[in-house]
Each structure stands twice: as C-alpha cells, then as structure tokens.
Amino acid sequence: MSAPGKLRSVALLALAEVMTMSLWLLSAAILPDLVAEAGLGPGRAAALSSAVQIGFVVGALALAVHGTADRFDPRRVLAGSALVAAAANAALLVTPVGGAAQIGLRALTGACLAGVYPVGMKIVVGWGTRDRGLLVGILVGSLTVGTALPHLLAFFSGPDWRATALLASGLAAAGGMLGLGAGLGPFHARAASLDPGALRLAWTNRRLRLAYAGYLGHMWELYAFWAWIGAAAAAGFAAGLGAAAPDAARLVSFAAIALGGLLCIPAGWVADRIGKARVAQGAMLTSGAAGLATAASFGGVWQLTAVLILLWGAAVIPDSAQFSALVADAAPPERAGSLMTFQTALGFTLTFFTVQAVPWVAAGLGWPATLALMALGPAFGVEAMRRLLRMGRESVDATLDRL
C-alpha cells in the first residue's frame, strides 16, 4: 500500500469498522447486567444475542439479491446503515429490558450492520489485487476489535448497561460518518443492473463453493465463541476467583477477541505470500485445537483456562478475512460485493442456530462439552481448504503438462 489515497481510505475504513461494529456483541457484553435487572431466562437471553444474527441475515440477503453494494456508492450505503443501527441501539434505553421491543431493536441493528461489514469489504477490495489478503485482513481485524469493544466499555461502565449502550451508539454514528471520507480504488467495479442470478455462481463455481464451505465451518465456532466466551469464562473462573470472576471474564473476553483482530493483519500479509487457503487452514487447525484444550482445562486452574481462551481468540478470526478474499478473487469484479454479502448471509444464518443453541447445550451438557463441540466447524473447514489447495496443485500440474 503506497499511494496516499489508498492509505488514507483503508485507514478511514478500518477506523469506521472499529467504531461501528461496537454494536455487534453489545448484548453479550451487558447480558449479566440485563439478567440481574430483569431476571431473564436462558431463552430470552439467547434471543437478545441471536436477534442480531437474524437481522444481519435478513439484511445481507436483501442487499445481496438487490446488489446494493455493487450498484450504488458503497460509502453512502455504509454511512446510512451505521446511522440507523446507532439509533436502533440507542432506543434500547427507552424500552422494557429483555422485552420483545429490545429483541426487535437488536434485529434491526443486525440488519443495518449488513450494510457496514460486507459493504466495507466491497470498498477495500477495490484498492488492490496482489495485496488483497492484507487489505481484507485489515478490515476484518478492525471489525473484530470493534466487536470486542463492548466488553471493554462494559468493564469501565460497570453495572450501568445503559451507559455502555449509549457509548456504543455514539461510536457507531461517528464511524459511519468517517466511512464517507474513504475513496473508491482503481479496481472498484460497479454493476450496471440488477442480476440476482449472479448468486448462482456460489454453487456453480467450484472455487467459490469451497470458499463458502470453509467459511461455514469457520462460522460454526466463531460467533458461538464471541457471543458466549464471556459467560463461559465467568463460570470457569468462579472456583478460583469467586466474585471477581465476571470482571476477569470481561477483560479476558475483550483481550481474546481483540488479539484475534490484530492478528488478521499479519495473517493477511502472510496469505498474500503463501496462499489464502493455506493460512485459513492453519488458523482453523489452531482454533479447533485451542477449543478442545480450553474445554479440557475448564474448571481447573483459571490462569491456564484464560491463556487457552486467549490462544483460541487469536486463532478464531484470521481465517475469516481470507475466505472473503478468496471469494473476491474468484468472483467477477462487478459482482464481488453481492457474492461476499451472500457468503456472510449464509454464514450468519448458521450462527443463529449455534448462538441460540449454546446456552441450552451448556445447561444440559456443561460448558466443557459445549466448548468441545465448537471444534466440529474447524474440522469441516480444514477439509474444504484441503480440497481447494488440491485444485490449485492440479491446475499447476495441468499447466506443466501442457508445457
């Protein structure tokens, strides 16, 4: 990244993502306070977290079918979505705690965030092809840090969840305005018309299909981890820390999620040199192993569990950027935005079920078994990347045979 316009635009986008995505895991960060105030049961608590995923899926599917990010100025789409999301989140302060209105507002917030995350990727992939792994890594790293931010806001705000929600709304609104200042790169392509049939490429193009499959394996564990690791850590730390366990869990959760976001950037740099599928495969192998180790350590020495959670958080997200970059590489440039948005829509459809299921599985089987089950997703994703890498080797062999 050498051109000043490119540096400035990517920096603005990164900052906008950090600030706007602070809305995403707000429910998870303030959930203990909501439960204490309103006596919420596990079903209502899960609904507050999973409503964001449902809203995101609906919003992402609508944007993908409509081709919004490919047909209109994506900066305006991002800014408008961020402002509406910020307003919906602020409305939590004036609605009954844990009620249907709050669940609906969280769903609306998720729908609007579909106009921030994948639309931001559409903008950033327009700034390069050879360094696309790094570019998307920066963006995904930024949104990951933003996703972790509510845990830090909640730590400083204490039990006043309303202050946390208000701070997150203010950050999101400011972030949306920053996104307007980003430029569109030389590889940005605009679609001339609506073409919902372009989404069929997700199945008919084998490279896209395998990139989607790997992403689904990754998403099996990612949001279940992000949404519930705070609650799991608090339960795991309780024996060793007593009343201090919730605060320690918040700090560890923030650090684990943020660490993964920071590692997206060097992972992207490496991916541009050794291959995006190879980096994604390595990240999933590490995260799956860390998940199993965390489950095995649960309820023992809390410091060991904390270290393993940090390792898990570090490995759970860097592959996400590479799945998006793989889709951008394989897709027609003028349809990349729609196909990346459709990819996220499918992934977040899956996360609705995993996020919703976690508290019920934990109540029935315990946290160790629940954490171990999350490793099934990385195992599936590793196999998808193995097949994609084999396609690359077969392509090279065919070229050598022709020579």
How confident is the model over 154-172, as pLDDT tens digits? 888 877 889 999 999 999 9
Q: Is 298 in contact with 371 (CB distance < 8 Å)?
A: yes
pLDDT tens-digit map of 91-139: 999 998 888 899 999 999 999 999 998 888 889 988 988 898 899 899 8
- Rounded mean pLDDT of 333-341? 81
Residue 245 has pLDDT above 80, yes or no: yes
Alpha-carbon distance 172 to 188, whole Å? 25
Alpha-carbon distance 246 to 33, whole Å? 11
pLDDT at position 275: 93
pLDDT tens-digit map of 47-100: 887 788 889 889 988 888 877 777 888 999 999 999 999 999 999 999 988 888
Alpha-carbon distance 244 to 238, whole Å? 8
pLDDT tens-digit map of 168-214: 999 999 999 999 999 888 887 776 555 667 788 888 899 999 999 99
Handedness of CA 208, 259, 227, 308 (dihedral sign): positive
Residue 399 has pLDDT above 50, yes or no: no
Q: Is 63 in contact with 85 (CB distance < 8 Å)?
A: no
CB neighbour burial string for 92-126, b if at least 16 within 10 angstroms, e if fewer: beeeebbeeebbebbbbbbbbbbbbbbbbbbbbbb
Alpha-carbon distance 222 to 256, whole Å? 12
Which listed CATH number (1.20.1250.20, 2.160.10.10, 3.20.190.10, 3.20.20.100) goes with 4-184+198-402?
1.20.1250.20
Q: What is the pTM of this model?
A: 0.80
Residue 397 has pLDDT above 60, yes or no: no
pLDDT band at 31 (very low <50, low <70, confident <90, very high): confident
- Rounded mean pLDDT of 348-366? 88
HEC string of 158-219 equals CCCHHHHHHHHHHHHHHHHHHHCCCCCCCCCCCCCCCCHHHHHHHHHCHHHHHHHHHHHHHH
Alpha-carbon distance 20 to 355, whole Å? 21
Q: Which amino acid, 223?
A: Y
Least confident of 85-89, 213-217, 396-400: 396-400
- The average confidence (pLDDT) of the chain is 87
Q: Where are the domains of the chain?
A: 4-184+198-402
Report residue 15 CA to chain centroid gap. 16
Q: Which amino acid, 348?
A: F
Q: Which residue has the higher pLDDT, 174 or 391?
A: 174
* Residue 40 per-residue DSSP state: -
pLDDT at position 279: 96
Alpha-carbon distance 334 to 331, whole Å? 8
Neighbouring C-beta atoms of residue 390, cutoff 10 Å: 12
